[in-house]
Structure 1
Amino acid sequence: MSSSTAAPLLEKEDHARDAAFNKAMHGNSAQARGGIMAMFSKGGDAKKAAVDEYFKHWDNKTAKDETPEERAARQAEYATLTRHYYNLATDLYEYGWGQSFHFCRFSYGEPFYQAIARHEHYLAHCINIQRGMKVLDVGCGVGGPAREIAKFTGAHITGLNNNDYQIERATHYAAKEGMSNQLKFVKGDFMQMSFPDNSFDAVYAIEATVHAPTLEGIYSEIYRVLKPGGVFGVYEWLMTDKYDNDNLRHREIRLGIEQGDGISNMCTVADGLAAMKAAGFELIMNEDLAREDDPLPWWWPMAGDLRYAQTLSDIITVARMTKIGRYVAHSFAGLMETLRLAPAGTKKTADSLAHAADCLAAGGRDHLFTPMYLMVGKKPE
């Protein structure tokens, strides 16, 4: 595994190119009611190009034969890799998970979406977001957390994203909920933000900065745009101290997570802490929330284990993650491709996400991986 402290390799941004590709692949599907409806209205040639560009980093690659050069190649193309990952995965995410693309802790009697919201509220609490603050959401997805935190705190939130399709969907949802004056979603690479120095009162990232080629690089850029005295909070995806890169099974789990989640270079907890300090932050708190003694494990939806379902809604949501649910969905996707009613690559993407889900659950069970290592840092006055 590469260290998080190497100098970042930055891709040149081309917003016109990305906008043209977005139009060719997604058309008007950003206005669709839900992920499943949007999934089948894509430009076939553009989707094939996205599939080819994304999976060139993973096809015929194994954990046993992984080389530093392969990881470096993924790091060098971090922005393209991430952008095409979400071109392919966003609709499947919305269909299977909802509009907040992250994990969370669970309590007894707590419905799935209530737990998701509580996780967002806790981060807002930890960095003390207040009404009227100007806040940056780094890697905002389709805006689910931004909308929830805006409602919870009364802050104005700017969501940064390098995927045009997700920006369109986030903007659509904000307008639908009458929140356009409180939320703004902008295009940009989080490794080279266009915001001036000292622009935001607070910054947060929820399971997004893992897509960066180096953690020190992204944390340093966040430090730059944060006002002196401001606070940054992040839920980071990290391999824990139990991870052993010389253990083939451990590497297979890590590589499966990376492949299925668009990650060029996953780091360790030690790397994450070192990157925060190297960026200049005064570390206020850090804890692995995945190691809390909760009655339900964070990974249970990924495992499709219905024993942990709290409500009928949970059963409906998580049933899609069971082996039967996956088989039905993936067979349906294959049939739609065969009938040319869905673009080629839909089933391949779904299969990759399913493999990642298995690896996430395995990493969670063995405490090799955490998707919610909380770090909160302050920029000195």
Structure 2
Amino acid sequence: MSKAGAFDLASGVGGKIDKTEVLSAVEKYEKYHVFYGGEEEERKANYTDMVNKYYDLVTSFYEFGWGESFHFAARWNGESLKESIKRHEHFLALQLGLKPGQKVLDVGCGIGGPLREIARFSSTSVTGLNNNEYQITRGKELNRIAGVEKTCDFVKADFMKMPFPDNTFDAVYAIEATCHAPDAYGCYKEIYRVLKPGQCFAAYEWCMTDAFDPNNAEHQKIKAEIEIGDGLPDIRLTKKCLEALKQAGFEVIGRKILLRLPVPWYLPLDKNHFSLSSFRLTALGRFFTRNMVKALEFVGLAPKGSQRVQDFLEKAAEGLVEGGRKEIFTPMYFFLARKPLSDSR
């Protein structure tokens, strides 16, 4: 996992945004969301700007607290967070049946932690698709450090409009990334297009579950906290993802909510949990990070607005834990879908 320190965190806040413009970017980002009067349709219409601002602002925080793989994983007893994250990635590779030499697409790849792990695990070539320039720059540097430049690369593009010919990839996966799409069908349709016939798409989706009640004010608050803290235009119900997959032309082979391991996925963010191995994610660790960021901003090492970023990330943590406890939200609605050998649509 990444060893990003305090200086890396401070210097990375804002990504490709000029450091003098970070506070303004934070304010513009916040205004997209419910807590600041924002509307869902505006977030969807401006998803490229919103998501890019989000990842420019938060990537250094993610890497500092989470490592190179920006996703959750439920755990077995005795399993570390790092081990569970690797297993979570290996599970996708195994479900896809990846074989050495295949050409694979990672949709919404972040800085490429899963991409590098899956390429090494399966001896495949993996292309990471990402629309955020800062994350791609960081990912290329981490590829160089890991020595995987020959098998792992990045393409900067919108996953709603992929710059690949039809039937390019032997497999496609997405790990907690296509939740940023303004329209699941449009995103899945593009994935369907670039996937070779007879091959599979596997994903972990962020979803509201059937237990979510849109008329429950507490449920709506939890949903809004996750949306602002994680750069989401909306959080779809599991059944909406399933409908969009079928509408795009996929045959759904399997689907399930991966919740039932002994150690819940949200435990690293739970204020009542303490762990030395993931200290930065604990309540005490977040307290130290909050005050460190405040101090770094005060002395000018971190740009103005850095503390505001930490604030909405903490709001996300609260929403994620409560959403997980109440089982109204999951970051791991898993599905495996196949593109038919003959497209009869």
Counterpart position of 1:379: 339
| Map 1:265-344 → 2, pairs under 5 A | 265-290=234-259, 292=260, 294-306=261-273, 309=275, 315-317=276-278, 319-344=279-304
Q: Deviations over 1:180-236 (max 9, x none)?
A: 000011100000011111110100000000000011110011001101111000100
| 1:1-381 to 2 correspondences below 5 Å | 34=4, 36-41=6-11, 43-58=18-33, 60-61=35-36, 70-290=39-259, 292=260, 294-306=261-273, 309=275, 315-317=276-278, 319-381=279-341
Alpha-carbon distance, 1:38 to partner: 2.5
Contact 2:34 2:224 in 1 (8 A): no
| Alpha carbons of structure 1 residues 153 and 202: separation in structure 2 relative to 1, 3 Å | same
Change (3 A) 1:59 1:282: closer
Whether the 8 Å contact between 2:33 and 2:43 is mirrored in structure 1 is: no
Partners of 1:163 and 1:181 in 2: how far apart? 22
Question: For 1:40 and 1:96, how far apart are their aligned partners in 2?
Answer: 13
* C-alpha displacement of 1:33: 6.5
Question: CA offset at residue 375 of structure 1?
Answer: 0.9
Partner Cα distance (1:273, 1:119) in 2 = 21
In the alignment, the residues of structure 2 paired with residue 61 and residue 274 of structure 1 have an alpha-carbon distance, to the nearest angstrom, of 31
More moved, 97-106 vs 325-334? 325-334
SS class of match (1:87): helix
CA contact (8 A) 2:33 2:227 kept: no
Give, in angstroms, the shift of residue 332 of structure 1. Answer: 2.0
Letter aligned with residue 208 of structure 2: M
User: So what's the TM-score if we normalise by structure 2?
Assistant: 0.93
Q: Which residue of 1 aligns with 2:15?
A: none
Separation in structure 2 between the aligned mates of residue 91 and residue 35 of structure 1, nearest angstrom: 10
Distance 2:296 2:120 in 1: 39
| In 2: Cα distance, 1:276 partner to 1:264 partner | 19
Distance across 1 between alignment mates of 2:336 and 2:186: 17
**8 A contact 2:30–2:36 mirrored in 1:** no
Distance 1:150 1:343 in 2: 36
TM-score, scaled to structure 1: 0.85
User: What are the superposed Cα offsets for residues 103-156 of structure 1, whole Å, 9 maximum, x if unpaired?
Assistant: 012011111101100000001111111111000000000100000000100000
Q: Distance in 2 between matches of 1:276 and 1:96?
A: 33
- Compute the RMSD of aligned alpha carbons: 1.6
In the superposition, relative to structure 1, how do residues 35 and 78 fare at CA in structure 2: closer, same or farther (>3 Å)?
farther
User: 1:32-63: per-residue Cα shift (whole Å, max 9, x none)?
Assistant: 9626333322642232342233122137536x
- Given the superposition, is the C-alpha separation of residues 37 and 59 from structure 1 closer, same or farther in structure 2, using an over 3 Å criterion? farther
Maintained 8 Å contact 2:209/2:330? yes
4+ long deviations beyond 6 Å: none
Q: Is the 8 A contact 2:297 2:304 kept in 1?
A: yes
Contact 1:304/1:320 (CA < 8 Å) preserved in 2?
A: no
Measure, in 1, the Cα distance between the counterparts of 2:164 and 2:210.
35
Question: Contact 1:35/1:94 (CA < 8 Å) preserved in 2?
Answer: no
Which structure 2 residue ranges, 5 or more long, are not aligned? 13-17
Identity %: 44
Contact 2:249 2:339 in 1 (8 A): yes
Unaligned runs of 5+ in 1: 1-31, 310-314
